[in-house]
Chains A and B, each alone.
Chain A
Amino acid sequence: MGLGPSIKMTSLHHYRCPVTAEIVKNDDLEYAGIIVDGVSEVCDDKIYTAKRVGDIAQVLRADGAIVAIDGWGNHHVDFVNVIEQLGIRGIPSVGLSYIGQQGRLVCTNNYVDCVVDFNKNISGYESCVVGDNNLTEYDAMKAVALLKNKLRKAEKYDSDQKDDSAGNAQTLRRLTRKTFHIKEVRFGDETKIEAGVLTIRKGLEKSLIMQEARIKDIQVKILEPGENDMFVNSNLDYSPIACKVRGELGEGVTHLLSGVTVMITGVEDKSGFQPSNIGSSEGVLKNQVVLDRAGTPASSDYILHIDVLFEEGEGRTAEGIMAAHRAADWIVQDIRKVLKDFQNMAYTREEFTDVARPGKPRIIQVKIVSGLGNMYDSSMFPYEPAGFLGSHNMMDSKNIPYVITPNQGRDGAIHSLL
């Protein structure tokens, strides 16, 4: 996930990516795909992976790119290199980054000429409030508008063009999402969903504690909407509760619960260390999160709070952090089991399509995500939407860029670790 708490993109953020949501609104653009590029810790690798991003963009025949990142400092080396490599190949881009004062670009090049700063804080310094300086719809809207401007200058986009090719639009892939609204969450003897009430089996975390040597204890709590005036440990992630019913991520049918969001937090035993990169986000919940962002719960949501007590030292290891995400995903898995075959409740149905639009400018998004390992990593393609189990972590994949379809992004192909 991100560098500091206030800019970090949670799994929920990637799931509801504002940039993707904005690009698909424009039927005069073709959304050709998303490149997910990991941030490496060796400078040579940063340059290498940026070049590969450029190559992939070229093979995708991209006309323009939006490059979004949730880090600064060394991460900006990757950021400016990607923009440079796109530029060298004749692909104009607009960057989306936290800059403010603290995140001022540490290095740059001639191709970095348009960066939308999504800082929201008057100080210009990161805060320890999750979501505070998040990339929002408004930032995404600006980026797409600026990119259209650049494309127009490069004579790749004509805003006056009549939409005469709508008939040529070709649906490439289809994803159906059925959303079931949950109005109450409570504990009970077995996990079930009935008439809008999600019941979670009490004590389901007990066996997980035994399995994970790096974890001393896990507490599962249910927070009602507005119940936020209590201390919580540093945030590890926010994620949705969703499962695949048919097909792989990005196609087929997905079931999603609305009205409830998973929150993972953690602290180390004995030392009291709060897992973090640049500043940790423990404190009274209402002061440590900005709700209603793409990557944070809605203020009307129940929060399924999974609080992990790490063995001493394990809040600082990549393995410890992954153990927490794994345990949390097992807990959510219990809900997915009943959600999978679930039918007998009203739902909202959404159809997401990846569409080819011949003759329209082809746009890609480059997401530069964490891949530094310890305390700062991402993983790709979990078994279930935005889950962790089955996923491949970025650092182990040497941060070589992935290409994913917009629908795979919208179906939770990216999981954030811390």
Chain B
Amino acid sequence: MKLTVKEGMQSEIFVPVTPKPVFTELKKPLSECKVAFITAGGIHKKDQTPFNTSGDFGYRTIPFDTPSDQLMVTHGGFDNSDINKDVNAMFPIDRLHELVDEGFIGSLANETYTFMGGGGNVEKFKGETGPEIARKLKEQGVDIVLCTGGCGTCHRSATIVTRCCEEAGMSCVVIAALPPIARQQGAPRITAPHVPIGSNAGEPNNIPMQIAILKESLEWVRDCPSFNQTKILPYEYRHNV
């Protein structure tokens, strides 16, 4: 066997590093906030180039007025069937419009950014994609960023980009199916419904559950006392049962 050496490669013993705290307190009522929703779950418009499932640090721009039936998923590593049934299970775009209509939140950003975090290159997300998405959201005057991720490394990529948004002065929450990952990677705030990976934002076509998860996550952005706190949400869903 040929042995190779690469600088920075870890071996044998893994020493975890929890990133430094980032926390931007929300200073407005939710009803006056401009909200954006980003996702690492591989959502894109049907007419956009699909993500490369073996690792892709690019992002796609999604106008918030895109009809949900024009969105699709390209993501390996977890069962996509829920998102295929209802894209709101990962990216609850229809529910967000309903929350604006209801007056629960002030408004939505004009456009948002989605990526495929599975197997994602940590350095690229931290140094390039994350700051760029954060800057573009900030330029639109966004106050709150909600985020979902699909698989495990996807939760990591989701958390990295969310941290960039928090650093840029927005208040953010990761809606996590795998809360231990969001916690370890240093998500500013975490909500955790009891759902399978791939349906972070709630059971497909279950509008009351999706609305409740969004509302409680938004309230956690408002109420979370300090960095990296998790709120377990009382919504449970499993597929194939």
Chain A contact residues, CB within 8 Å of chain B:
3-4, 41-44, 72-77, 80, 99-108, 112-117, 119-120, 122, 124-126, 128, 136, 138, 142, 146, 276-279, 316, 372-376, 395
**A41 close to B198 (CB less than 8 A):** yes
Grouping DSSP codes into helix (H, G, I), strand (E, B) and loop, the B interface class, with mixed when no group exceeds half, is loop
> Hey, which bits of chain B sit against chain A, CB under 8 A?
1, 4, 6, 9-14, 16, 53-55, 76-81, 118-119, 121-122, 151-156, 177-181, 183-185, 192, 194-198, 238, 240
Q: Which 4 A-B pairs have the closest CB atoms?
A: A73-B152, A279-B54, A74-B152, A73-B153
B178 pairs with A43, CB closer than 8 A: yes
- Let me know if B77 and A278 touch, CB within 8 A: yes
A43 to B233, CA, bound (A): 13
Q: When the two chains form their complex, are residues A106 and B13 in contact, meaning their CB atoms are under 8 A apart?
A: no
On chain A, the residues within 8 Å of B181 by CB distance are 74, 77, 106-107
Pair A105/B77 contact, Cβ less than 8 Å: no
Q: Which residues of B contact A44 (CB under 8 A)?
A: 194
Give complex CA distance A163, B167 in Å.
61
Determine if B4 and A276 form an interchain contact, defined as CB atoms under 8 angstroms apart: no
CA distance A276 to B74 in the complex (A): 12
Name B196's contact: one of A42, A77, A278 (CB within 8 Å).
A42
A276 touches B76 (CB 8 A): yes
User: Shortest Cβ distance from A321 into chain B, in angstroms?
Assistant: 12
Interface of A is mostly: loop
Query: Given contacts A74-B78, A107-B181, is CB(A4)–CB(B119) below 8 Å?
Result: yes
Rounded to whole angstroms, the CA-CA distance of A414 and B177 in the bound complex is 28
Provide the bound-state CA to CA distance between A77 and B176, in Å: 13
Contact in complex: B76, A375 (CB < 8 Å): yes
Q: B54–A278 contact, CB under 8 A?
A: yes
A56 to chain B, nearest CB (A): 22
Q: Is the CB of A138 within 8 A of B152?
A: no
Q: A41-B198, A374-B80 are in contact. List 14 more A-B contacts (CB 8 A).
A: A41-B78, A41-B79, A42-B177, A42-B238, A43-B177, A74-B77, A74-B197, A103-B153, A104-B14, A106-B156, A107-B178, A276-B53, A372-B79, A375-B76
Write the nearest CB–CB distance from B154 to chain A, whole angstroms.
7
User: With A and B bound together, what is the CA distance between A138 and B10 in angstroms?
Assistant: 17
What chain A residues lie within 8 Å of B156 (beta carbons)? 73, 106
